[in-house]
Amino acid sequence: MAGIMLRSTAFNDHDLLPDRFAREGGNVSPPLEWAGVPESTSELVLLVEDPDAGRTPFLHWLVTGITPQASGVSEGTVPDGGQEWPNGFGATGWGGPHPPRHEDPHRYFFRLYALQQPLQLPDAPQAPDVHRALADREIASGTMIGTYYR
């Protein structure tokens, strides 16, 4: 499977996310850039989740229908063509990190998937629903991780 290069100008892979992206900070989505999307891509999907939040990864941002020609997204905006879905807080769009106080840093996985066919999801998908829907549809992906603690 091909790899997509995913990066941010706001933080490096495995680094602490700036407070402005956190729920009690500015609660704005970080800027992202990507490259290496296969030509056969019909849709990009962006998934941000916290696997340290409990039994089920917590969904912080899900955007489907992103135009394959897009090469990134600016801070606080939605990628070109993208449809935002409800996050784990119950609001549509970005829901910044908000782990319990005094816990070890949580990890926030930013994943961009290239698909040959549009993704089919239930009305209010959770992270496991998205992973099931992505199975056998992904032709390339890229991942970066940010951390955060309070």
pLDDT digits (tens, 9 = 90+) for 52-108: 998 999 999 999 999 999 999 999 999 999 999 999 999 999 999 999 999 999 999
Q: Is the pLDDT of residue 146 over 80?
A: yes
Percent of the chain with pLDDT over 70: 99
Q: Is the pLDDT of residue 7 over 70?
A: yes
| Token pair recorded at residue 17 | 């996310």
CATH 3.90.280.10 for the 2-148 domain, yes or no: yes
Distance, C-alpha 147 to centroid of its chain: 14
Predicted pLDDT at 13: 98
Closest CA relative to residue 108, chosen from 26, 41, 36, 11? 11
CB 59 within 8 A of CB 87: yes
- CA-based Rg of the chain, rounded to a whole angstrom? 14
Predicted pLDDT at 136: 86
pTM score: 0.96
Q: How confident is the model at residue 1 (pLDDT cuts 50, 70, 90)?
A: low
Average pLDDT, the chain: 96
Q: Is the pLDDT of residue 2 over 90?
A: no
Closest CA relative to residue 96, chosen from 61, 125, 56? 61
Alpha-helical segments (H) within the chain: 127-134
